[in-house]
Amino acid sequence: MKKFLELISEEMGKAFEAAGYQAELGKVTISNRPDLCEYQCNGAMAGAKQYHKAPLMIAKEVAEKLQGNEVFSEVSAVAPGFLNLKVTEKFVKDYLQEMRADAKFGLDMPQRPQMIIVDYGGPNIAKPLHVGHLRPAIIGESIKRICRFAGHKVLGDIHLGDWGLQMGLIATELKKRHPELPYFDESYQGEYPKEAPFTISELEEIYPLASAKSKEDDAYKAEAMEATYKLQTGVPGMRALWNHIMNVSVTDLKRNYDDLKVEFDLWKGESDVQDIIPDMVAKMKKDGFAHESEGALVVDVKEETDTKEMPPCMILKSDGAALYNTTDLATIMDRMEQYQPDKLIYVTDKRQNLYFEQIFRCARKTGLVKPETQLIHIGFGTMNSTGGKPFKTREGGVMRLENLIREINEEMYRKITENREMEEGEARETSRIVALSAVKYGDLSNQASKDYIFDIDRFTSFEGDTGPYILYTIVRIKSILKKYGEQSGENSVPAKMVLQEAAGESEKGLMLEIAKFNAMMEAAYEEVAPHKICAYIYDLANAFNHFYHETKILTEEDSEKQAGWIALLTLTRDVLEVCIDLLGFSSPERM
Ligand code: ARG
């Protein structure tokens, strides 16, 4: 379905043509003087030079051609040559009618769906999720949903950090505590126990302790490195222990991500590609891309046009060990083989910008991807506390994600139960739903690359540019629709309702906001920009509330008019619900 502005631009283009000018001049934009008009066209100004004519003259000629036009209810040529425009109520209504009949509200589906992999989350095994894991989870999840809604085949991959020194550290500490466990006995031939020798809380206690010890005690560190090496070379006891660590950790991670409504399709990790690293490295050497530099193996990724420093991409350290880079490159190779993606999107902290540029260049240069494969890094900014500093607990440590979420849930519960009577179970559930909207909207309403301040007070407010405000608006619509259903029974099936032409300013304003959906979605997808959805629904919610405050919907006596409003409300609700789902949250029935 064509975009609203596209349609009116075409109509304007025809008028330019009819007046003897180039159709391209008819580009229409949203008015920057909403007090005067809804849309404007500056084509007459642009054409003045080319046609050696005063812009106002051109504008007047074009306006003349649009008298009695079905799309425009008002066209005025004003000095120095603007065309100020309003569209007819009928045109808007017809557009919305068409939107309503389309499952994607007018967003065109691609001719050939792409295969897209979104790499996000990236937690490390055995370390609890902390606030630093919030942004990649929220942003990545939304990007995944946007790509999917845009009609593509999408896989979200968590890309676990499951192969590093942390595994050796845990093994070392565990051995100190329980040297009798069979995992540490290299002559052991029997079956290893099914049950893990630790719980998640023990694991979370062991890891930071072992990590701290290794920093102070060289022998301890050497032991941990030895254990890591044993794991990586496949010593059975270490593998068995690793499986336990994975199972216990992943179960806990799933629970945490579930609470955030973050769902990964693939739970792959760094460990999954270790076996293919030797082949990849051998090929890079054979093809002449990888060469030795100060003992390490590197691929040069500098280009002539670079204005900034571009260090080579390291493939193997001087001791022959693989590193973060190596694993990411091998993962690209694996993904290309397994899923043939057209596009890979990575969501990480923007401090990894240079890193991903090196990786992408290296992958292209060495032929791991096709020339047309799109490699995109979405680098996000830092989430700061209200003091402007990175987020810390009261004690100064890194705050656990679970605790942060619990704090917001509590705050929301307090607000909700203060506002209205609600049974305990529902109040808790509603608080969780609304709190999630507060956190996610608070994050996603900023352009991802920007730093932002995580301000619980502001984010949980029911007023202003917040998640709870959006949900409040949806709940308000749901409640009107429910009451309408109760009072009119049989006739209340929304599909039977027919949209009417807007009877007033605020109603038309709402309709015009809704009509921006497909253009907004296209931009959100193409620019990988969830914040565009937030901006859209904020405007839409404002337009709806403005209309709501001016209109007595439930007591309207003209039943056709009333049904038209109900149809409009239903569409508003549906569009808002689709949008919040793309942001990764949902709405409660009441709040
Ligand atoms: N596990 C890494 C870390 O904690 C993040 C992984 C990001 N994704 C990637 N494909 N490199 O720093």
The per-residue pLDDT for 492 is: 57
Given the structure tokens 């005063």, which residue do they identify? 54
What separation in Å is there between the alpha carbon of 357 and the centre of ligand 1? 15
122 lines ligand 1 (CB under 6 A): yes
The per-residue pLDDT for 493 is: 61
Distance of CA 55 to the CA centre of its chain: 44
Q: pLDDT in tens for each of the 591 residues of the chain?
A: 999 999 999 999 999 999 999 999 999 999 999 999 999 999 999 999 999 999 999 999 999 999 999 999 999 999 999 999 999 999 999 999 999 999 999 999 999 999 999 999 999 998 889 988 999 999 999 999 999 999 999 999 999 999 989 999 999 999 999 999 999 999 999 999 999 999 999 998 999 999 999 999 999 999 999 999 999 888 999 999 999 999 999 999 999 999 999 999 999 999 999 999 999 999 999 999 999 999 999 999 999 999 999 999 999 999 888 899 999 999 999 999 999 999 999 999 999 999 999 999 999 999 999 999 999 999 999 999 888 777 776 666 778 899 999 999 999 999 999 988 899 999 999 999 999 999 999 999 999 999 999 999 999 999 999 999 999 999 999 999 999 999 887 655 666 689 999 999 999 999 999 999 999 999 999 999 999 999 999 999 999 999 999 999 999 999 899 999 999 999 999 999 999 999 999 999 999
In ligand 1, which atom is closest to the CA atom of 356?
11
The per-residue pLDDT for 394 is: 66
Tell me the angle at which helices 467-488 and 559-583 cross, rounded to the nearest 10 degrees: 150
Q: 85 pairs with which residues across the strands?
A: 39, 75
The per-residue pLDDT for 575 is: 98
Q: Which residues contact 334 (CB under 8 A, 6 or more apart)?
A: 272, 273, 276
In terms of C-beta density within 10 A (0-12 exposed, 13-18 middle, 19 or more buried), how is residue 309 classed? exposed
Q: Which residues contact 236 (CB under 8 A, 6 or more apart)?
A: 188, 192
The per-residue pLDDT for 515 is: 98
What separation in Å is there between the alpha carbon of 289 and the centre of ligand 1? 25
270 lines ligand 1 (CB under 6 A): no
What separation in Å is there between the alpha carbon of 126 and the centre of ligand 1? 14
What separation in Å is there between the alpha carbon of 352 and the centre of ligand 1? 9
For residues 337 and 102, what is the distance between their CA atoms, to the nearest angstrom? 36
The per-residue pLDDT for 496 is: 67
CA distances (Å), origin 296, targets 53, 93, 292, 301, 314: 68, 66, 6, 15, 7
Q: Which of 361, 376, 400 is nearest to 449 (CA)?
A: 376
DSSP 237-296: HHHHHHHHHHHHHHHHHHHHHHHTT---SB--BGGGGGGGHHHHHHHHHHTT-EEEETTE
Residue nearest atom 8 in ligand 1 by C-alpha distance:
122
119 lines ligand 1 (CB under 6 A): yes
pTM: 0.95
Given the structure tokens 């509590």, which residue do they identify? 410
473 lines ligand 1 (CB under 6 A): no
Residue 532, classed as helix, strand or coil, is helix
DSSP 301-314: ---TT--S--PPEE
Is 266 within 8 Å of 157 (Cβ atoms)? yes
What separation in Å is there between the alpha carbon of 150 and the centre of ligand 1? 26
For residues 435 and 462, what is the distance between their CA atoms, to the nearest angstrom? 11
CA-based angle 164:167:172, to the nearest 5?
130
Given the structure tokens 């949008």, which residue do they identify? 579
Strand 39-41 to 82-87 pairing? antiparallel
Q: Which of 117, 125, 155, 159 to mutate to test the pocket of ligand 1 (most atoms within 8 A of CB)?
A: 159
For residues 181 and 198, what is the distance between their CA atoms, to the nearest angstrom? 12
CA distances (Å), origin 475, targets 411, 479, 517, 570: 20, 6, 21, 12
For residues 83 and 512, what is the distance between their CA atoms, to the nearest angstrom? 19
Residue nearest atom 2 in ligand 1 by C-alpha distance:
122
The per-residue pLDDT for 282 is: 97
The per-residue pLDDT for 508 is: 97
Is 44 within 8 Å of 83 (Cβ atoms)? yes
161 lines ligand 1 (CB under 6 A): yes
Query: Can you give 516-527 as a three-state secondary structure string?
Result: CHHHHHHHHHHC
Q: 448 pairs with which residues across the strands?
A: none
What separation in Å is there between the alpha carbon of 376 and the centre of ligand 1? 15
159 lines ligand 1 (CB under 6 A): yes
The letter for the amino acid at 78 is: V
What separation in Å is there between the alpha carbon of 131 and the centre of ligand 1? 15
348 lines ligand 1 (CB under 6 A): yes
Q: Which of 139, 167, 273, 348 to mutate to test the pocket of ligand 1 (most atoms within 8 A of CB)?
A: 348
What does the buried/exposed string (b/e) look like for 562-572 if buried means 16 or more CB atoms within 10 Å of the residue's CB? bbbbbbbbbbb
121 lines ligand 1 (CB under 6 A): no
Residue nearest atom 3 in ligand 1 by C-alpha distance:
122
